[in-house]
Amino acid sequence: MIPWIIGTAVLTVGPMAWSLYLSFTDYHLIRGGEWIGLQNYTAIFDDPMFYRTVRVTLLYVLIAVPVKLVASLLVAILLSQHRRGMGFYRAAFYMPSLIAMSVGVALIWKALFSNGGVQDGIMSSFGWEGGGFLGNPSVSILMLVLLAVWSFGAPMVIFLAGLMQVPQELYEAADVDGAGRWSKFVRITLPMLSPVIFFNVLMETVGAFQLFGPAYIIGGESGAPAWSTLFYTVRIYTLAFTDFRMGYASAYAWLLVLAVGLVTVIMFRAAKRLVFYAGEDR
Amino acid sequence: MSVKTAGGRVIVRKRRTAAERAKSAVWHAAMLAVLAIVLYPLLWVITASLKGNTDIITDTSLWPKAITWEHFANAFDGLAGIPLWRFFWNSTLIAALSVVGVVVSCSMTAYALGRLRFPGRSAMLGVVIATLLLPGQVMLIPQYLIFSELEVTNTYVPLVIGKFLALESFFVFLYIQFLRGIPRELDQAAKIDGAGHFRIFFSILLPLLRPAVVTSSIFTFIWSWNDFLGPLIYLYDMEKFPLPRLLQSYSNTEGVTNWGGMMAMTLLSLVPVVLFFLVFQKFLIRGIATSGVKG
């Protein structure tokens, strides 16, 4: 069984090291390449496309993750208050997260948000003149944000499992002390739930940085319209597999690894102060 | 209110249940509102695939004015002379291979990492957890170069090999979590009776791991069914395309003019996932609740 692990380590660590090496070369799939030191990295920082992709990706992460998590926590709290029908609603709300990242749903989204489509029709009746989100660069990213929010069921189920584990005695004790709903939420629910919140924030953030499929289907390789959906991973894909500039693309990919790593470290640091582990858990 | 008879008590009790009933009604109303938002896109696509091509996009209602089945006929014709069932078969084949790979390799790796003691074990466990967070994009290019050097691009090998080598850390982690819940005394008793690692694993642990096997199989099937990036990079013969690649090609060619055909095809491609979910939803939800695996 140990060979399996060696295989795992080699096939993960090997490509990573190779990718790091490639990022210091001007490797081209057809022409080959040689060592050019840090030139890829200096070139990236002069690349206007880099700043566009970073802007789009960060904007998405900063909007989609909080909105999705707040929505999922709210619905989870609502669901946890009532037993009857809970299983049904939980299943129904969870289902979209299984298909949200598929090509099919991205195509449905394109239909819903095109000019004259459902979103345009509904918003026009309230005086909106921006047309469908699909063709409007200032709001097109909202399509992807809404897609993320639509898949709130996955973190919701995890929140729900966490809420079920909060000991009821804590609430009863708080009732005896005359605590109100809000203070029970802030002083009992949130601290007891904080490990789960941390987990969800971490996983959703890391996942959001890596969004590819829906962005590629909705915006194509150029992130249409006007680069407004040009996600970082789409740029990596295009550089590597359309332009064949694999050295340069590897440098792009490594910057993503560094960014995600940095975010992860910061979150773990923050978690040390903010996350509360009850009793002997961990 | 001054009446303190038995009848009074009955009134008070009635009032409480009425208040509870009202609260329950508000709760259900809120939940149904969320449900409506969540299900709207799916209901819309079902009716859209039955509408005429002229008003598909602009019609927000969930009731077609006139029902037509031509879009489904179009969808079954597939693309470029290749019928739709062929793409369904490709998707099914890739997903089935992935499921076998994940169940065999991830469960065994989890046994080694979770039960055996050997040098470097905790470091390897660290690698598994680190790859949970590692952006896969960084390995994409070297892996592509490896597979093209081995001349296996445009086959299903690159799409499923990672599953056979236990590279799906999520599932390794899931199996480790489940293994922790199985008492060690069981393997120790078997060891005393002279059972080897394979015997312990296959005869004792694997049957007990059945919930994890089911959960990982379902997730692997669904993720493989939805996977787009892998087929996008590695496959270029349309005959070998799984459904997501077909949908993408269709949307770039036929679908530009034929929204109805595209929506019908999209709907058909989602049906297996939704059916799978309906059948196995209890396992799925228990699985994510215990391990945090994402959809």
Q: Per the domain annotation, does A198 fall within a domain? A: yes
Residues of A in contact with B225 (CB under 8 A): 102
A32 backbone dihedrals φ, ψ, rounded to 5°: 75, -165
CB within 8 A of B148, min separation 6: which ones?
none
* E strand spans, A66-219: none
B57 to chain A: closest CA residue: A117
Check A98 against B273: CB less than 8 A apart: yes
8 Å CB contact between A218 and A143: yes
Residues of B in contact with A8 (CB under 8 A): 109, 124, 127-128, 165-167
Check B127 against A111: CB less than 8 A apart: no
The fold of B81-291 is: MetI-like fold (1.10.3720)
Instruction: From B75, B99, B98, B97, select the one nearest B87 (Cα to Cα).
Output: B75
**Distance from the A173 Cα atom to the nearest Cα atom in chain B, whole angstroms:** 23
Which of B34, B134, B266 has its CB closest to that of A257?
B134
State the pLDDT at residue B60. Answer: 66
Alpha-carbon distance of A209 to A53, in angstroms, equals 11
B101 to chain A: closest CA residue: A4
Residues of A in contact with B131 (CB under 8 A): 12
Task: Compute the C-alpha angle A168/A174/A178, nearest 5°.
Answer: 140
State the pLDDT at residue B3. Answer: 43
Alpha-carbon distance of A242 to B256, in angstroms, equals 23
State the pLDDT at residue B295. Answer: 38
Q: Per the domain annotation, does A75 fall within a domain? A: yes
Alpha-carbon distance of A236 to A249, in angstroms, equals 5
Q: Per the domain annotation, does A222 fall within a domain? A: yes
Please count the structural domains in chain A.
1
Which of A99, A202, A237 has its CB closest to that of B270?
A99
Question: How many helical (H) and strand (E) elements, i.e. helices and strands, does chain B have?
Answer: 14, 0
Q: Per the domain annotation, does A239 fall within a domain? A: yes
Instruction: From B144, B86, B124, B243, select the one nearest A18 (Cα to Cα).
Output: B144
DSSP summary character for residue B51: S
Along the 282 residues of chain A, how does pLDDT read in single tens digits? 565 666 666 667 778 888 888 888 877 777 777 788 788 888 888 888 899 899 999 999 999 999 999 999 999 988 887 667 778 888 888 888 888 888 989 988 988 888 777 787 788 788 777 777 888 888 888 889 999 999 998 899 888 888 888 888 888 888 888 888 888 888 888 888 888 898 899 989 988 998 898 999 888 888 778 788 889 999 999 988 888 888 888 888 999 989 998 998 999 888 888 877 655 444
8 Å CB contact between A93 and A224: no
Alpha-carbon distance of A197 to A191, in angstroms, equals 9
Instruction: From B205, B216, B212, select the one nearest B111 (Cα to Cα).
Output: B205
pLDDT lower than 50: segments of chain B? 1-13, 293-295
Alpha-carbon distance of A133 to A218, in angstroms, equals 11
Structure tokens at B25: 């009604």
B270 to chain A: closest CA residue: A104
Buried b (16+ CB within 10 A) or exposed e, B97-113: bbbebbbebbbbbbbbb
What is the domain range of residue A146? 48-274
Q: A110: number of CA atoms within 13 Å, CB side?
A: 26
8 Å CB contact between A130 and A160: no
Q: Which helix (H) or strand (E) holds A163?
A: helix A153-164
In Å, how far from its chain's centre is CA B80? 29
Q: Whole-model pTM?
A: 0.85
Q: Which long-range contacts (CB under 8 A, 24 or more apart) does A187-194 make?
A: A189/A77, A189/A163, A191/A276, A192/A162, A192/A165, A192/A166, A192/A167, A192/A276, A192/A278, A193/A159, A193/A162, A193/A163, A193/A166, A194/A274, A194/A275, A194/A276
Q: Per the domain annotation, does A259 fall within a domain? A: yes
State the pLDDT at residue A147. Answer: 92
Alpha-carbon distance of B34 to B23, in angstroms, equals 17
State the pLDDT at residue B97. Answer: 93
Q: Per the domain annotation, does A210 fall within a domain? A: yes
For residue A72, the domain's CATH number is 1.10.3720.10
Check A157 against B277: CB less than 8 A apart: no
B49 to chain A: closest CA residue: A108
Cα maximum dimension of chain A: 76
Q: Per the domain annotation, does A36 fall within a domain? A: no
CB within 8 A of A73, min separation 6: which ones?
A155, A156, A159, A197
Peptide bond into A225 cis (omega under 30): yes
In this prediction the ipTM stands at 0.83
